[in-house]
Amino acid sequence: MGPKQNSLGVLLVLILFSSCSNNRLFDTYVALPEDGWPADLSLDFEVEVGADQEGSYDYLIGLRNNNDYLYANLFFFAQMEDPNGVIYRDTLQYLLAEPNGKWLGSGVGEIKHNLFIYKKSQSLAPGSYKFSLSHGMRDELLLGLEDLGMRIEESH
């Protein structure tokens, strides 16, 4: 493969990745503490929606876990505050493993990545939205969780 063909391949990959992310309004991950995620630690995300960005969006929660996580599922307490100060609260449950113990999600090796649907087709008006996520498991400290993220992307 010559230099021109190699450059063309790299350019196509960059275009593919940039076109996939054009519909994302927000996509941020936060590293969880290495010594475990305490139940009283909420992770907060703030999203500014401009007048040119209003429309219908899906909310997604991203999670990276490793083999030290002890459970097949995970409960979240989610809270969203809209620009008018109205607060919405949800309790969410997501599966991380099959009944036989095989991890769900993508990734090679010990760390698996999951992207969970939080809400679909939500209308966003201009302004500031605040999201807060904490775990709702019985254990005070959860081990084996690497990163937690929030993604907001255009609905399809």
pLDDT tens readout for residues 1-16: 555 444 434 333 333 4
d(CA 112, CA 119): 22
In a domain, 83, yes or no: yes
Q: In which domain, by residue range, is 90 found?
A: 25-154
Residue 55 lies in a domain: yes
92 domain-assigned: yes
Phi, psi dihedrals of residue 35, rounded to the nearest 5°: -85, 10
**How many CB atoms lie under 10 A from the CB of residue 45?**
19
Dist CA 155 CA 24 (whole Å): 10
The answer as to whether 132 is a domain residue is yes
CATH number, residue 140:
2.60.120
Asked if residue 20 belongs to a domain, the reply is no
pTM of the model: 0.83
User: Tokens for 131?
Assistant: 């999201």
Q: Is residue 16 part of a domain?
A: no
Place of tokens 């936060």: 30
Q: Is residue 15 part of a domain?
A: no
* pLDDT tens sequence across 36-69: 999 999 999 999 999 999 899 999 999 999 999 9
Checking if the pLDDT of 78 tops 70, the result is: yes
Report the alpha-carbon distance of residue 46 to residue 151 in Å, rounded: 11
Number of folded domains that form the chain: 1
Q: Is 17 within a domain? A: no
